[in-house]
């Protein structure tokens, strides 16, 4: 039995908790937002400029989900106009190491995966 299977059996939920978390952090934007916030506290606009291609709506939704999950903290300053800053929580910072490991794996194997895609797709033609 694999470590993953043992973890699922111990929880007794058939892997639902693990799948739920992986769905959240494995989406298109979450890890980019987490990596961008690593070691910094940022305003929304700064985040938007540092994450190429993210829309205002997607950044808003991603930050809300991360805040709800306890991975990002949001601080509102009583100023006119109001200023809001985001930063990783202590738990959010624990995501950096596995995220970097996954990113390094993706970069290392990207060429091989692309070659595999081309080989597979050429079989269908």
CATH number among 3.40.980.10, 3.40.190.100, 1.10.10.10, 3.40.50.300, domain 28-124: 1.10.10.10
Helix, coil or strand: residue 85: strand
Q: What is the DSSP letter of 67?
A: H
Cα separation, 78 vs 42, in Å, equals 16
pLDDT at site 51: 94
Q: State the pLDDT confidence band at 11, using cuts at 50, 70 and 90.
A: low
The answer to whether residue 125 scores a pLDDT higher than 90 is: no
User: What is the pTM (predicted TM-score) of this model?
Assistant: 0.79
Q: Express each pLDDT in 75-95 by its tens digit.
A: 999 989 889 999 999 999 999
Q: Express each pLDDT in 12-66 by its tens digit.
A: 676 777 778 888 888 889 999 999 999 999 999 999 999 999 999 999 999 999 9
């Amino acid at each position: 039995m694999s470590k993953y299977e043992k973890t699922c059996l111990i929880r007794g939920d058939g892997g639902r908790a693990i799948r739920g978390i992986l769905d959240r952090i494995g989406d298109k934007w979450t890890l980019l937002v987490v990596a961008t916030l690593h070691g910094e506290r940022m305003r929304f606009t700064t985040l938007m400029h540092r994450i190429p291609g993210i829309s205002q709506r997607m950044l808003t939704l991603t930050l809300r989900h991360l805040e709800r999950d306890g991975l990002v903290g949001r601080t509102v300053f009583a100023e006119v106009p109001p200023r809001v800053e985001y930063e990783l929580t202590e738990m959010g910072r624990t995501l950096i190491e596995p995220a970097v490991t996954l990113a390094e794996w993706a970069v290392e194997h990207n060429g091989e995966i692309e070659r595999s895609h081309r080989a597979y797709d050429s079989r269908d033609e």
